[in-house]
Chain A
């Protein structure tokens, strides 16, 4: 047996990769290159040797700052490009890498150019806006004042009112004229200007208060929208004209205008002058427009040329920053000529790392080569599983519970099959299974396309689990065939039913039952059970027993894995005082139950298993009577019961006492503690292998062991019961789909009306898609997850490791997106 296990070929995924702590001593001149080669390789996790230093006390802080500055510039470019609406036309060009210094210069140049262009165009834009506003004020305010002029010509204001009664501003103009007539003597003056529409109301109120109502305010919305120079958005503005009298009011109004950000433009009284100014402005406007257009074209050209390189530059700066961040984790050695780094690296990758270092030495013409050697480690190494597309999702399911301890048995190996299978037990329906399968196949067929683009969080989750979905759907089809359910409808796929009616009319099929006339249905549940009186009792009994069988099998697998763990870590104590009693306890109670179930199925006995199990504890010596399934059952039960009783103290007491004995033996005669000199400070030499002298606390160990044993004993009962969720969810699923099929689809089909039939069909389709396919999938998924995390993994899985996070360029994702 031992030999057989030793000869098993090692499974890749079973144990995490062997790791070793390595030390790199790299000459300064080749350090940058070496680290960037290692980043491309992506198989070395650097340890931070300067953890006590704050970020700006580190060696390469200036370079990091420069990279930060450069990425700021790149972000600025990106913003500008997005603002100009050019992002869609970017095709990244692959060019030979430019030097960082060169790039920095280039970026600074581009930034300078862009800022200059921006400020130029801003100035132009401002003048343009001012002119545009002036134009609008002229037009609109002119229309207020026009009546003024006309009035002068018309002499009689009643007449002019008649003439202009069709005017849009009839009320305003007539009022205005009233004012104007008196204005000639009192020196009425006006200020015209333009203001944001949102501020106009408050502006008017303020003017009213400031002049104590002695003013007249006219406003009209400006025809065009004007670009706000701050937010670059188009805003609506309102042209206004205020009439007032007096010098003091004038200063006040001007102050208020300033406070409200209103721009005032003078409008000449004279009509011909107005026209002349308008003409001038229009011509200047068109000139400016062409200048602005040319400027924008120029700017767009510059931006496009930047855009070509932008993605490359961004990834390059990100890489450089990562390299310097990593270099900051290294220490200078005594001579200040070499950088010393430490890190974890998988054993298989050592050669590759060495090769990368040599290449770096060679490429940078360094006189001295890098030194690479393995060190002893005190702390436990990180956990690293080499997964592929397929196994990754399952590993994620396990990691979500906890990262495996270094080299501990990895439940993901079994999860690949057991997880989809337990899901399918709850989701058994081959119609629904086919729907899931189609979804999974679509995701897999588009794998290459979907993996490059950014998906929403939900789609991302779905896409990440596409292979889980695939196996889940395949197993669902399998389990559905066993349950013989296709959207809850049974089919005669594997031949005819084994049952037939008692008489030709089949009238009493539901009351008196059917009779069996030939061999059992070859695969799965006989379709005749569907709708029969005993359908539920039969299916419940079947699924309940099946759940217990599956549960006991999986829990046994968990305990066996704890054996492999103990073997791997050479802890015979765990095998003898943990694995063996646990095995005995579980199997003498629930293993025996499973045995009874199988025997009952095989011989078709009518024995009551509840009774057997309960009286096994209450009165083990009593005669079993009609419940006896096989010869010698009673003595066997007594033996099993005794074994289970013995197993409890077996797993509770010996281990802590033996640990205590071992500890006292090891430190026998060593009554003095190790001298701790001040030089031997743990912080100074974090890398040396020191023996951690831990205080042995017996009561703590004992309490710990007690908790574990109690947990296991109680857990054996409660976990077995917990597996009954397989039955419960499967029942719920099949009942739900039956309800939707019979009470919606068949009911609607009973009517001879197209509308009702279609409605019924639609309701059925929606219910199937959303309730059965989505909600039920989620709930079955969650329950399968729980069965794995709790019932399976608590038997052996510690899950207190930490993940291997190599320094790798491929893993640097855009953090600002």
Chain B
């Protein structure tokens, strides 16, 4: 019942919404980032973080720190919070929360499969996986030789199974195939998530469709840019675009035929929301595009908190926290490698 969430939302979702808003208040602020950017060593970063919500997770780390430890511990905090929320959630919020992790699951599957293709150690690969995207039999992925086996052996048990129906081939796995698989899976996942949110209705549908549409459009642009100059045909490229979003369908037609970055730019500038992103970039430049997209995303995610009684806040919080961890990773890397001049290149301020 659209517009009447206020009457019933709090019965099941009120507690968790309060929790998630409390977590959001714990995100690092611009002042925190300023202080972090001035740090000289990783110990300084640890010391500064110990005054924030990350404190308990970092306090027992012995002193020669590594960037990976910091990122690992910060991610652990996110995972703990996520698990807590998932435990407390009831339907349909629990399904919604599970949907948030599918993206990581796809990434993990791709990571393991690529890794085994290049004969890497499974244990080592497992450590690199995002903990949010872990599922029980993930280590078994290494056994599979082709897509069909991959599906039949492992993925049939996971929530990713339905998305796989489109990309089951008996072809052997190679880098190109895996990349296409990743995009097909992600595409199917986004569409499914979008449909699920539409089914939930109300403010959730409204806000989430906006956020997911942005995600889909960003992916469309990224796929286009990355596939320029590869052997991917136009039709195949077209297939990888999601069937919703602002660019659907006419933008997709145009993107599918783009041959260089400036053509992409010309397509995107027809869409007012994306004009501002591309107007920041100089012609022919695609390096800063990621950052520009991230900034736009963060802005949209923050706006999700302006409205109450919807599930978008959970999605937004998880994304914001991930962005924060990316920021922390970048800052710590810059500090560790004495490249402090480049700190601001990739940090996206959240507030």
Are B43 and A65 within 8 A (Cβ)?
yes
How far apart sit A593 and B139, CA to CA, in the bound complex (Å)? 86
CB within 8 Å for A54 and B35 given contacts A68-B47, A255-B142, A259-B122: yes
B-contact bits for A249-291, CB 8 A (1 contact / 0 none): 0001001101111000000000000000000000000000000
Decide if B43 touches A260 in the complex (CB within 8 Å).
no
Contact segment of A69-77, A377-385, A710-718: A69-77
Are A72 and B60 interface neighbours, CB within 8 A? yes
Which B residues are in CB contact (< 8 Å) with A259? 122, 137, 139-140, 142-143
B6 to chain A, nearest CB (A): 31
- Flag whether A214 is at the interface (Cβ < 8 A): no
Closest to A61 in B: B47
- Give which listed residue, A76, A210, A260, contacts B139 with CB less than 8 A: A260
A61, A68, A261: which has the most chain B beta carbons within 10 Å? A68
With a CB–CB cut-off of 8 A, which chain B residues contact A76?
60
Mask: chain B, 306-329; 1 = CB below 8 Å from A; 0 = not: 000000000000000000000000
Chain A 227-252 near chain B by CB (<8 Å), digits 1 or 0: 00000000000000000000000001
Q: Are B143 and A256 in contact (CB under 8 A)?
A: yes
Interface mask (A47-65 → B, CB under 8 Å = 1, otherwise 0): 0000000111100010011
B48 is an interface residue with CB less than 8 A from chain A? yes
Q: Which of A64, A72, A256, A258 contacts B62 (CB 8 A)?
A: A72
Does A202 interact with chain B (Cβ within 8 Å)? yes
CA gap between A191 and B152 in the complex, in Å? 23
Please indicate the chain A residues that have their CB under 8 angstroms from the CB of B50 in the complex.
68
| Cβ-defined partner of A55 (8 Å) among B40, B48, B62, B136 | B48
> With A76-B60, A210-B143 as given contacts, are A56 and B44 in contact (CB-CB < 8 Å)?
yes
B50 — nearest CB in chain A belongs to which residue?
A: A68
CA distance A261 to B140 in the complex (A): 11
Nearest B residue to A212 via CB reads B152
Within the complex, which residue of A65, A255, A261 is in contact with B47, where a contact is CB–CB below 8 Å? A65
**Contact flag A55-B51 (CB < 8 Å), given A202-B136, A206-B137, A259-B139:** yes
Contacts of B48 in A (CB 8 A): 54-56
The verdict on A206 contacting B140 (CB below 8 Å), with A54-B35, A54-B48, A56-B40 known, is: yes
Chain A residues closer than 8 Å to B44, beta-carbon distance: 56
Give the complex CA separation of A716 and B140 in angstroms: 79
Q: How far is the CA of A75 from the CA of B40 in the complex (A)?
A: 27
Does A209 have its Cβ within 8 Å of any Cβ on chain B? yes
Residue of A nearest to B44 (CB): A56
Determine if B338 is an interface residue (Cβ-Cβ < 8 Å): no
- Cα of A343 to Cα of B47 in the assembled complex, Å: 26
Task: Kindly report which residue of chain B lies nearest to residue A66, judged by CB atoms.
Answer: B63
Asked if A56 and B140 make an inter-chain contact with CB atoms under 8 angstroms apart, the answer reads: no
B153 within 8 A of A: yes
Q: List the B residue with the shortest CB-CB distance to A255.
A: B143
Residue of B at shortest CB range from A259?
Answer: B139
Given A56-B40, A69-B63, A209-B152, residue A252 in contact with residue B143 (CB < 8 A)? yes
B134 on interface, CB distance cutoff 8 Å: no
CA–CA, A56 and B49, complex, Å: 11
Residues in B with CB closer than 8 Å to A64 are 47
Most chain B Cβ neighbours within 10 Å, of A54, A64, A252: A54
Q: Please, what's the 1-or-0 string for B217-241, where 1 marks a CB less than 8 Å from any CB in chain A?
A: 0000000000000000000000000
Q: Which residues of A contact B180 (CB under 8 A)?
A: none
Docked pose: A210 CA to B137 CA in angstroms: 13
Contact B136 A210 (CB under 8 A): no
Evaluate contact between B140 and A256: CB separation under 8 angstroms.
yes
Alpha-carbon separation in the docked complex, A55 to B153 (Å) = 53
For window 110-128 of B, CB contacts with A under 8 Å fall at: 122
How many Å lie between the Cα of A61 and that of B50 in the bound state? 14
Contact B39–A56 (Cβ < 8 Å): yes
Chain A residues positioned under 8 Å from B40 (CB to CB): 56
When distances are taken between beta carbons in the complex, the residues of chain A under 8 Å from B152 are 209
Given contacts A252-B143, A256-B143, contact A54 B38 (CB under 8 A): yes
| B165 within 8 A of partner (CB) | no
Bound form: Cα–Cα A731–B33 in Å: 61
Which residues of B (142-157) have their CB < 8 Å from a CB of A? 142-143, 152-154
Q: Does B59 contact A (CB under 8 A)?
A: yes
Shortest beta-carbon distance, B99 to chain A, in Å?
Answer: 23
Structural contact, B153 and A210, CB atoms closer than 8 A: yes
| Closest CB in chain A relative to B2 CB, distance in Å | 42
Chain B residue contacts of A55, Cβ below 8 A:
47-48, 51
Question: Residues of B contacting A261 with CB < 8 Å?
Answer: 139
Measured CB to CB, the nearest residue on chain A to B35 is A54
When C-beta atoms are compared, the residue in chain A nearest to B126 turns out to be A259
* CB atoms of A209 and B137 under 8 A apart: no
Name the residue among A56, A57, A76 with the largest chain B CB count within 10 angstroms. A56
Most central of B50, B62, B152 by chain A CB within 10 Å: B62
CA distance A146 to B47 in the complex (A): 62
Q: A-B pairs with the 4 shortest C-beta distances?
A: A259-B139, A56-B44, A54-B35, A259-B140
Given contacts A57-B38, A76-B60, A258-B122, 5 further A-B contacts (CB under 8 A): A54-B48, A56-B44, A72-B60, A210-B143, A256-B140
Can you list 10 A-B contacts with CB-CB less than 8 angstroms, sorted by A residue number? Answer: A54-B35, A54-B48, A55-B51, A68-B50, A210-B143, A210-B153, A252-B143, A255-B142, A260-B140, A261-B139
A residues adjacent to B (C-beta < 8 A): 54-57, 61, 64-65, 68-69, 72, 75-76, 202, 206, 209-210, 252, 255-256, 258-261
